[in-house]
Structure 1
Amino acid sequence: MDGRKPGSPQKAPQKLSLLSSPVRAVIRLRRVAHVLKKGLLATDSQAKLLQRQISSGKARVGNPSSSLLSQRNFESSRYFTFDTSVPQPVTRGSKRKKKYRNPRVLYPSGSSKKYLPAEHKSKAKRCLLLLVGIVCFQILNAIENLDDNLLKYDLDGLEKTMHREVFGQALAIESIMGLLKDYLATHMHNKPLVVSFNGPSGVGKSHVGWLLAKHFRAVVGHGFVLHYFTMHQCRDETSVLACQLDLSKTISEMVARAEIEEKIPLFILDEVEVMSPALLETLGGFFHTNQTNEFLNAIYVLISNLGGDEITNFLLQNVSSDVSQAKQKMGLLQTALRPVLNHLHPLWALVEVVPFVLLEKSHILSCFYEEMMSEGVYPDPNHIEDLAGQLNYYTKGGLQYAVGGCKQVVAKVNLL
């Protein structure tokens, strides 16, 4: 007997049930955590409902047939649905918040005036217009500078003088002036200008050289023009070395002074046909492009009778009075004359060839008139005609070309 009355209630089972209630709750929570670790996720509303059921004690664990945490109840539960497919990876873009566009700007309902938004002009257009203006200004300034440089040499006056005093060489004068204008338009060059006057004797080559020397002495000064006559300044063939040294020294000193004063010197070398090969070699050394700047800014004029026979034969075989055909004939004559000169010396490959053609009888009459006026003799037309008839001529196609040009005119007038 344990001293208790028969029929009194037993309190031990009640205490056991009270102690096991927290244990059951812990077990339920551990099972829920275990399920969640396996990837069985529930929505927020379902989780809240499950939490309320656990707190109210409606969820039972002891009975396997009625437990919410059993496998069968989880699969057929109306509160939880589980997707058994492979979970999709969460992309970074889905976590970003959607950017809402600004709503359209509406005008106030009570406003009487409605203004459209102002269009902002791009600053790049202004910069582009400024750049175009600067480039145009630079081009215009460069053109004006070229004109100023040509005005300094007064090439228009030189051209008028040559057309007035030289007869029968209009195409040659046009070619010479074109070369001079292109070269003298600027002071910086990549090579010197070398021009060769070729033609028969008495057609005006030396006279053109004399006019060039006279004009450039008046423009740039006497110290920047050299008129070199080979037969007078290098007579003795034994003094070729001295002539080489003298000519080389003179050219070097002139180009050095001209570079300091920003002027272009002029070297006129007459009677080149009698120059020795050594002197031609010295002269040709100044024509190359691999020199310092002062030697590149110079003009050389070579005057000779070389190629005179070829020019005479070509003109007599291609007689024409048409101007357009005469220009074509001049181009063909330059092409035919080039290999003849290149065969004589390599320096002719570096020069611009200007052929001087034969003079007609009308040009000889003009020469007589000018010579008689300069000597103070009355230019009687009948007397001039008689004097011109005493000269020798090539007759071809109804035209007469003087054999010796105007050289015989001076001798005839001096006999008067």
Structure 2
Amino acid sequence: GRTAGSQAGPAVLSCRVAFRGCSSPSAGPCICPCLEFDLATNLVGQPLVRQQVMKGVREFLENPNPVKPLVMSFHGSTGTGKTYVSSMLIRYLFQRGLQSPYVHHFSPIVHFPHAEQIEQYKESLKHWIQGNLTNCGRSAFLFDEMDKMHPGLIDVIIPFLGPSWVVYGTNYRKAIFIFISNAGGEQINNVTLALWRARKDREEISLQDLEPAISKAVFENPQSGFWKSGIINEHLIDFVVPFLPLKHHHVKQCVVSELVQQGLEVRPGVVQEVADSIPYFPEEEKLFSSTGCKTVASRISFFF
């Protein structure tokens, strides 16, 4: 007969192999230094993001028995690096990265398009998360465009985010949830601009400078997926991660990276022209890129 231990089955075993975390010394070299180096080298102009993400990931991975899942919420305007950072994180944590069977990606437009079917969506989302966490406690769930999520829908996952949820003998505290949202981007930009005018450089901006503005924009907005959400009221988000607007020299760094990636010659004239072709705000000072680095790749072909 089979012993209780042999019931783990191939899914759970491959789940353990697929996750590259460093929760025990036997798990091999920790991913943290490599991830930190990659963020420092390739994520342009977001010291606050690097600090918050590394703090969250390091604390979570180094604890063999976390009290709750790691829950992070990324906020900022288009092109500031939210998707880039979440993909990088997943690439380091899971073999096969975003293609891993233990990484689940939700988009409201694709997965939850019709407001009138919200009850059905709630049911499916709950079962999907429960089923996948039973299969592999070390799973990651990415929720894109939270600003377009129907209010109320996301609350069905509350039981999976807290410290006490154990079902079918499976502990869900080792999962990772990442929420990504443009909501709060405008407020982050306004605060950054106001601080710049008050002679405070964007590199000196702290989380405390931004948190009140993000909370107001994201959690008190009836159009937001987090509106009146228990996720907020029960303080289930561990790290709110603000992405600041990018300046002209940051965009130039993105242009250089993109040229290298496309195998093209890095010509200073081209770098300057591409960076100059992007719209900046506010109208008079033209300090920050309106689209971050989002359109850099598509613009390069115009200058070659």
TM-score (norm 1): 0.58
Letter in 2 for 1:394: F
Partner of 1:157: 34
Partner of 1:283: 157
Q: Choose from 35, 51, 74 the match for 1:174.
A: 51
CA distance in 1, matches of 2:172, 2:298: 41
Letter in 1 for 2:191: F
CA distance in 1, matches of 2:202, 2:258: 29
CA distance in 2, matches of 1:366, 1:203: 13
Match status 1:404 vs 2:281: no
Q: Choose from 350, 360, 366 the match for 2:236.
A: 350
Q: How many residues align?
A: 265
Letter in 1 for 2:132: M
Match status 1:232 vs 2:110: yes
State the Cα distance separating 1:153 from its structure 2 match: 5.0
Contact 1:393 1:401 in 2 (8 A): yes
Percent sequence identity over aligned pairs: 22
- TM-superposition CA deviations, 1:326-378 (whole Å, max 9, x none): 3xx33221244234433223223421211111111111011112222223333
CA distance in 1, matches of 2:261, 2:113: 31
Partner of 2:224: none
- TM-superposition CA deviations, 1:92-145 (whole Å, max 9, x none): xxxxxxxxxxxxxxxxxxxxxxxxxxxxxxxxxxxxxxxxxxxxxxxxxxxxx9
Q: Map of 1:287-326 to 2, 5 A cutoff?
A: 287-292=161-166, 294-319=171-196, 320-321=200-201, 323=203, 325-326=204-205
SS of residue paired to 2:136: helix
SS of residue paired to 2:95: helix
Q: Choose from 271, 278, 283 the match for 2:145.
A: 271
Between structure 1 and structure 2, the one with the greater Rg is: 1
Match status 1:373 vs 2:260: yes
State the Cα distance separating 1:313 from its structure 2 match: 0.8
1:376/1:235 CA distance change after superposition, 3 Å: farther
Partner of 1:107: none
Contact 2:23 2:64 in 1 (8 A): no
Partner of 1:6: none
CA distance in 1, matches of 2:202, 2:26: 36
User: Which structure 2 residue ranges, 5 or more long, are not aligned?
Assistant: 1-21, 221-226
State the Cα distance separating 1:322 from its structure 2 match: 7.3
Contact 1:312 1:357 in 2 (8 A): yes
Match status 1:188 vs 2:65: yes
State the Cα distance separating 1:151 from its structure 2 match: 5.1
Letter in 2 for 1:291: W
Letter in 2 for 1:345: K
CA distance in 1, matches of 2:228, 2:301: 39
CA distance in 2, matches of 1:166, 1:303: 17
SS of residue paired to 1:174: helix
Contact 2:49 2:241 in 1 (8 A): yes
State the Cα distance separating 1:414 from its structure 2 match: 4.5
TM-score (norm 2): 0.77
1:317/1:243 CA distance change after superposition, 3 Å: same
Partner of 1:206: 83
Letter in 2 for 1:321: D
SS of residue paired to 2:101: helix
Contact 2:159 2:165 in 1 (8 A): no
User: Which structure 1 residue ranges, 5 or more long, are not aligned?
Assistant: 1-144
Letter in 2 for 1:224: Y
State the Cα distance separating 1:239 from its structure 2 match: 4.0
1:151/1:168 CA distance change after superposition, 3 Å: farther
